[in-house]
């Protein structure tokens, strides 16, 4: 009887453990997809189950470079900095309080520069950027600096991709954004009225979406580029990376990357 009782006990324990793990899986898989149309930002690919740590690591890294590349986004210093040097009568307590307030404002502004937005997708983060930060140029400069200095500053991040624009994942919306973002990039006139010919490639990446045809997406964006430019799949000047995630409230991400980011 004891053996049967013990066996039953172990079985119940195993069932409880299994139920517990299933519950965790359901919680992890039910995260909301909160990316909305007309967002700019950065897609970050990271280690599975380390998404929370990767968010902190990514935002810390981005703030470090934003301090250098976009100093205007740092909290403005007090306009009275010069007067403070002459104001010897201020008591110590007031000075400390003022300094602490400045530190709080700086942290607040840094958080506003980069905001994590839930993707509901394992290993994939979306960091929304403030309007002052241009994602493509920012990511390009960040990666070039790390490449030139041969330094590794991340543990959980595996890929960083700039997002120029987001929209709903349907062909009419894609065409609208392609004309808004892609066409001007390729067809800006030079001073003599000519257009500099560029090579390009279109790379669609589809996750959890079976409604869109890959070739239709490629043709749509290739057409938006214009006739003065040629396709080069091996060494393009510019890459149009279309990242399509989820069904229903699916958002289509348009990413335009300078070729150096892929090397």
Q: For the segment 103-144, what is each residue's pLDDT rounded down to a tens digit?
A: 555 455 555 899 999 988 889 999 999 999 999 889 999 999
Mean pLDDT computed over 89-99: 61
Report, in angstroms and rounded to the nearest whole number, the Rg of the chain calculated over CA atoms: 25
Which residues are CB-neighbours of 39 under 8 A, at least 6 positions away?
Answer: 117, 126, 128, 163, 165, 166
The model's pLDDT over 30-88, given as tens digits with 9 standing for 90+, comes to 468 888 889 999 999 999 999 999 999 999 999 999 999 988 877 543 344 444 444 44
Task: Please tell me whether residues 152 and 170 are part of one structural domain.
Answer: no
Does residue 4 belong to any structural domain of this protein? Answer: no
Residue 152 lies in a domain: yes
Q: Pick from 174, 180, 140: which is nearest to 260 by CA?
A: 140
Output the pTM of the full model: 0.70
The verdict on 172 and 149 lying in the same domain is no
Q: What is the mean pLDDT of residues 134-161?
A: 90
**Would you say 162 and 138 are in contact if contact means Cβ atoms under 8 Å apart?**
yes
Mark whether 141 and 36 lie in a shared domain. Answer: yes
What is the tally of helices (H) and strands (E) in the chain? 8, 9
Antiparallel, parallel or unpaired: β 41-46 and 114-117: unpaired
Residues 76 and 90 reside in one and the same domain: yes
Q: Are residues 36 and 159 in the same domain?
A: yes
Give the DSSP letter of residue 156. S
Instruction: Tell me the backbone φ, ψ of residue 152, rounded to 5 degrees.
Output: -115, 115
- Quote the number of domains for the chain: 2
210 and 236 belong to one structural domain? yes
- In a shared domain, residues 130 and 185: no
CATH of the domain at 205: 3.30.2130.30
Q: Check residue 169 and give its pLDDT.
A: 87
**237, pLDDT greater than 80:** yes
Residues 203/197, Cβ–Cβ less than 8 Å: no
Q: Judge if 110 and 204 occupy the same domain.
A: no
- What pLDDT, in 10s, does the model give residues 172-223? 999 999 999 899 989 989 999 999 999 999 999 888 788 889 999 999 999 9
- Residue where a domain terminates, one of 104, 129, 163: 163
Q: Which residues pair with 199 in a beta bridge?
A: 230
Domain that includes residue 67, residue range: 31-163
User: In 130-170, where does DSSP find H-type helix?
Assistant: 135-149
Residue 21 lies in a domain: no
Residue 214 included in any domain: yes
Asked if residue 19 belongs to a domain, the reply is no
Q: Show which of 144, 163, 182 is a domain's final residue.
A: 163
For residues 159 and 243, membership in a common domain is answered with no
Q: Are residues 261 and 181 in the same domain?
A: yes
Q: Are strands 251-258 and 165-168 parallel, antiparallel or unpaired?
A: antiparallel
Which residues make Cβ contacts (< 8 Å) with residue 206, sequence separation at least 6? 212, 214, 244
Instruction: Specify whether 190 is located in the same domain as 263.
Output: yes
Of 163, 188, 208, the domain-final residue: 163
């Amino acid at each position: 009887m004891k053996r049967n009782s013990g066996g039953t006990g172990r079985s119940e324990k195993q069932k409880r453990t299994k139920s517990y793990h299933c519950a965790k899986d359901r919680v992890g898989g039910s995260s909301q997809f909160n990316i909305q149309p007309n967002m700019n930002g950065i897609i970050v690919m990271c280690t599975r189950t380390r998404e929370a740590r990767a968010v902190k690591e990514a935002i810390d890294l981005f703030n470090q470079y934003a301090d250098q590349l976009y100093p205007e986004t740092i909290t403005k210093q007090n306009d009275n900095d010069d007067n403070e040097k002459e104001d010897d009568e201020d008591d110590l307590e007031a000075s400390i309080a003022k300094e602490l307030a400045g530190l709080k404002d700086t942290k607040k502004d840094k958080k506003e520069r980069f905001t994590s937005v839930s993707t509901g997708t394992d290993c994939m983060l979306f960091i929304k950027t403030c309007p002052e930060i241009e994602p493509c140029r920012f990511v390009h400069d960040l990666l070039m600096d790390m490449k030139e200095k041969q330094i590794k500053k991340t543990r959980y991040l595996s890929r960083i991709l700039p997002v120029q624009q987001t929209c709903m994942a349907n062909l009419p919306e894609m065409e609208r954004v392609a004309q808004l973002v892609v066409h001007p990039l390729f067809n800006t006139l030079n001073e003599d009225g000519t257009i500099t010919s560029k090579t390009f490639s279109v790379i669609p990446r589809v996750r959890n979406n079976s409604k869109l045809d890959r070739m239709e997406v490629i043709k749509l964006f290739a057409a938006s580029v214009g006739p003065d430019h040629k396709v080069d799949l091996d060494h393009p000047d510019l890459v149009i990376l279309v990242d399509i995630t989820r069904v229903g409230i699916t958002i289509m991400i348009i990413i335009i990357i300078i070729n150096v980011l892929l090397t």
